[in-house]
Amino acid sequence: MTKRVLVPMESYRLAEAAVPLSCYICGVDNSYSTELCRHCAAPLALSHQARTQGVRPQMLAVLGTAAAGKTVYLGMLLDMLTRQNGRVQVLARGAFSITLQQRTMMALAQCQFPEKTPNEPDRWNWVHCQAKINNKKQPMELIMPDMAGEAILEEIDHPNAYPAIHSFLDKCSAVILLADTDRIERGGAEQNYFLMKLITYLSEQDGRRNKGKKSTRPVAIVFSKADRCEPCFDNPELYAKEKTPNLWQQVQQRFVNYGFFASGVAGSVGFREERGEGPMAVPLRIEPRGIVEPFEWLVRKV
């Protein structure tokens, strides 16, 4: 004998899953329940978050060479802004936005720098947060990824090698460029050339939209690890003019809104010899300086 039962169809669930979800970064349609975009590998949680907020998040890029200090800078910035009730306050959106801050602070607490960011876009940490500035009525929604330096350089050299970076740089409203002061002080010209490439890439992206005029996208050039060179803190623009003259010149010629800053997280760095793993840099004390200023300046300009 067959028992009669009533089964609710709940077809609305199927209808919801049938609607594709556009990736917030590259715009490609994905299945509703997918975790990462099938084209650029950005987390689709960003699209879900953006849908629920009602305000379109702005994008802020933190760029630099491999080992320039992007992860430490972003992690420390978020940790400071989520703690203090100062001029800028940040509220993380989504649990995934806390991972970068957690990873950085846990590593620093154990007298280590966080591990190198992997090159694969699906393993990058993305931050979606709400930034509130004292003088502004409306808070801003911001998206900031922590991308690998090698991947950024590969994309600059061969556009579209990394679709996530390509789309992100095209859409981002503001840029923080990190220049490794330690390597500049050691006489390497690599930072100078890398940042010049980036400046050219960004301004040409804007140039297509502005018909050749100077870019209005705000750019903060931040000399990271500036604790290794005190004069850099005193006058970052003068430091840029003297140590990276080509970069200084390019920024002047291509951008309207730009600023030079210096920052440092570790007050002092030592080296520990690990058996089989070579010398490992060890942050001896944590003394964040100049972390919030470039961010605050950018957010006010956007």
Partner 1 sequence: MPAGTVPVEQAIFTSAQTMNKDGYQLVAWSPGISAEDARVLAVWGPAHDSMIADDPSDVSLNFHPLRDGKVCISRTMLGSAEYSGRGGRQVYTHCFVLNKASFARFHNDPFRVLSAALAIHDLRPGPELPTDLPTMMMLPSGPPVEPGLIRFFDSPTQQQTMVTWFHLALTSKKLLFTGNYNDRYLSVFFNLLPVSIRPLFPFSTRLRYSPRREFRLIGLANDTEEQKKAARQEGCTVFAFDSPARTPELSRHPWATWVQVALCQREPDIAAKLIGELPLSTRLEDLPSIGNRLRVTLSGQRRKEADASPAVSLPPVALERDTDREELLRLVERSLDGDVSALERLSSAWGCPEDSRMESLREDCAKHFVSLSRKRQGTGDSRSSMALEILSLILRTSP
| Residue range at the interface with partner 1 (CB under 8 A); choices 85-93, 95-103, 124-132, 146-154 | 146-154
- DSSP for 150-179 reads HHHHHHHHSTTSSHHHHHHHHH-SEEEEEE
Q: Which among 15-23, 94-102, 108-116, 230-238 is the span making contact with partner 1, rule CB under 8 A?
A: 108-116
What lies within 8 Å, CB to CB, of 70 at 6+ separation is: 62, 63, 64, 117, 146, 147, 149, 178
Rounded-to-integer distance, Cα 142 and Cα 128, Å: 6
Asked whether position 58 contacts partner 1 by CB under 8 A, the answer is: no
- Residue from 126, 168, 194, 258 touching partner 1 (CB under 8 A): that is 194
Binding mask 243-282 for partner 1 (x = CB under 8 A): ----------------------------x--x-xxxxxx-
Closest to partner 1 by CB, 32 or 235: 32
The reply on whether position 148 binds partner 1 by CB under 8 A is yes
How far is residue 112's CA from residue 270's CA, in Å, rounded to a whole number? 10
Separation between Cα atoms, residue 99 and residue 126, nearest integer Å: 8
According to the binding rule CB under 8 A, does residue 115 interact with partner 1? Answer: yes
Q: Does 36 bind partner 1 (CB under 8 A)?
A: yes
The residues, any chain, with a CB within 8 Å of residue 124's CB and separated by 6 or more, are 117, 118, 145, 146, 147, 148, 164
Q: Would you tell me which residues interact with partner 1 (CB under 8 A)?
A: 31, 34-36, 38, 41, 65-67, 112-123, 148-150, 153-154, 158, 161-162, 190, 194, 271, 274, 276-281
